[in-house]
Amino acid sequence: MAVGAPYVDYWHPWNAVGSDLTLRREDLAVRWFNPAGGWVWPAGEGPVTYYFPADPLGPQAFDPQLEELFFADAELIPTGHDDFTAFRVESPTAFEERLNALEPLPMAWSSEGAHLPPPKLPLVFDGRFALLGAELQEAVVQPGGQLRMLTYWEVLAADPTPVVAFVHLTSDGTDIWGQVDWLSVRADGLQPGDRFVQVHLVPVEAKTPSGSYRAMLGLYPPPNWQQRLPIATDSSEEAADRVLLGEVKVE
């Protein structure tokens, strides 16, 4: 079972917490996500039922691209209730096709990890999450504009510890010309084999000089933003904590 609604993330968890307090059950692994910025495809054989509250403490919103992926495989289930809508997904065919069609982005470590073996997918973050792919959806952005990036993940361990993704727009791995810290998928409830997509909307500072930039990605457990999840490398002794992805021009 998966529930798509606002107010399920680390900073605004009210829908997920309210549901937990009401149900008081430990035998359900509910996947919570905010469809305005992320989407979960649970693991396992057989159909998955998705619920979308009609008015979950605020207006419901859907990212258009993720909504298109979902509804390509979703079938409406009559519920007889006005409070929510329900859908069944037998198999996430459209998601699988999208994932398989991803073009690999150039990847590199930041300057501190330049001596490490080059990164390669999947990138494993602290044994909890594997980055399966990413796509930058703009090749050129303007100062004061916005960069849109999608990242595709697989869950490796059931760990309720909250986690947030950060994306920095950087030219060399040390300067920052735009950043966003967010994860629209709630860690509590995720199970091994689950996969999800996160949309990162990075605002580009108006004073950003023209030039070539990269997206720097990492994960951390809030509120300890300096305690980033280590990324496994081919080195037996060292790990990285962020990776540079793709290339975008600001002009």
Q: Residues 112-166: pLDDT tens digits? A: 888 888 999 999 999 999 999 999 999 999 999 999 999 999 999 999 999 999 9
The residue written with tokens 């490490």 in the block is 116
pLDDT digits (tens, 9 = 90+) for 14-28: 989 998 888 888 787
204 close to 215: Cβ distance less than 8 angstroms: no
> In angstroms, rounded to a whole number, what is the distance separating the alpha carbons of residues 72 and 95?
9
> In angstroms, rounded to a whole number, what is the distance separating the alpha carbons of residues 205 and 143?
6
Question: Residue 201's pLDDT is what?
Answer: 98
Fold classified for 104-250? Coagulation Factor XIII; Chain A, domain 1 (2.70.50)
pTM over 0.85? The answer is: yes
**Taking the domains of the chain in order of start, what are their residue ranges?**
2-98, 104-250
| Structural tokens at position 204 | 């580009």
> In angstroms, rounded to a whole number, what is the distance separating the alpha carbons of residues 1 and 50?
6
